Amino acid sequence: MITKETKEAISRLVPESHILYDEPLKKHTTFQVGGNSDCLIFVEKEKELKDLINYLDGESIPRYLIGNGSNLLVSDDGFRGVILETRRLFSDIKVEGETIIAKAGALMSKIGSVALENELTGFEFAAGIPGTIGGGVVMNAGAYGGELKDVIVSVRVITRDGKSEEISCEDMGFGYRTSVVRKNEYIVTEVKLKLSKGNREEIKATMEDLKERRKSKQPLEYPSAGSTFKRPEGYFAGKLIEDAGLRGYSVGGAMVSEKHCGFVINKGDASASDIDKLIKDVSKRVKDSFGVTLEPEVIRLGKF
């Protein structure tokens, strides 16, 4: 519950035009499901972010940071607290020679376009990932043989005690879908990437090739959170799900994609509860059938 005093305090930290109350979170997630948040704030500057975090934590008001909402399942009951959103306003990208410096809310697709414009190669693998660079860093996002750890120089974060730090790639603790940012609940504010000079036409051709591969193999025409499960060691999640007979399996408006069984999609009228139950059903069937535990990549927010 956001009180009058809280609203007044927030309005002193950010412009009124950047604040939304009782905002439907289905507008801010790629699954396009979920209830309302008590408050959603579009953050524009690092100082705003720090000030908001310090205030909210000091008042014990729950808060959660989102970028593109591409790896998130929000409860049908919504979120009782404040959502801090970086994608719209906190997304500047600068190029300095072969280095790209991007604010946390910059979309990876936009960074890919900037790299292409400047004839910089090395980021092609990430250009089609549907998320922000900040969110990608948290989970060391990767695709087609590349991971963000391969191109990161350093990451600027806000720690749990509200301090700003710059962490080198070597100290980021990157692993498969993890990092020290995720483990320590830091907040990414800026990412420095080191690419290399390349041939514009070759970079463009690689990006087009990966785009076509995604289009042919992934259900991009439906709302989803991308790949739903982490890859179990020694297996492929999609193959296990298919072999368990779950291609096209549905719960309400949620369905295991018929194009790629590693994706759970919203057919158009799914609830968060539908998606949550389907994920649990799939995990149980695969465990019962093959003794393999599927761990969701998707983060649940709110009460389920």
DSSP string of 45-58, one letter each residue: SHHHHHHHHHHHHH
Topology agreement, domain 93-203 and domain 219-301? no
Question: Structural domain boundaries of the chain?
Answer: 4-85, 93-203, 219-301
What does the alpha-carbon distance between residue 286 and residue 288 come to, in Å, rounded to a whole number? Answer: 5
Catalytic residue status for 227: yes
- Which of 177, 190, 257, 271 is an active site residue? 177
Let me know: does 51 contact 59? Beta carbons within 8 Å.
Answer: no
Catalytic residue status for 16: no
- Which of 227, 257, 271, 283 is an active site residue? 227
| CATH entry, 219-301, from 3.90.78.10, 2.60.40.1180, 3.40.50.970, 3.40.50.2000 | 3.90.78.10
User: pLDDT tens digits, residue range 112-141?
Assistant: 999 999 999 999 999 999 999 999 999 999
- Which of 48, 85, 147, 297 is an active site residue? 297
Pairing of strands 36-42, 79-85: parallel
Residue type, 49: L
| CATH entry, 4-85, from 3.20.20.80, 2.60.40.10, 1.25.40.10, 3.30.43.10 | 3.30.43.10
How confident is the model over 232-259, as a mean pLDDT? 97
Q: How confident is the model at residue 249 (pLDDT cuts 50, 70, 90)?
A: very high
User: pLDDT tens digits, residue range 175-227?
Assistant: 999 999 999 999 999 999 999 999 999 999 999 999 999 999 999 999 999 99
Q: How confident is the model at residue 270 (pLDDT cuts 50, 70, 90)?
A: very high
- Which numeric CATH code is attached to 93-203? 3.30.465.10
- At residue 180, the pLDDT reads 96
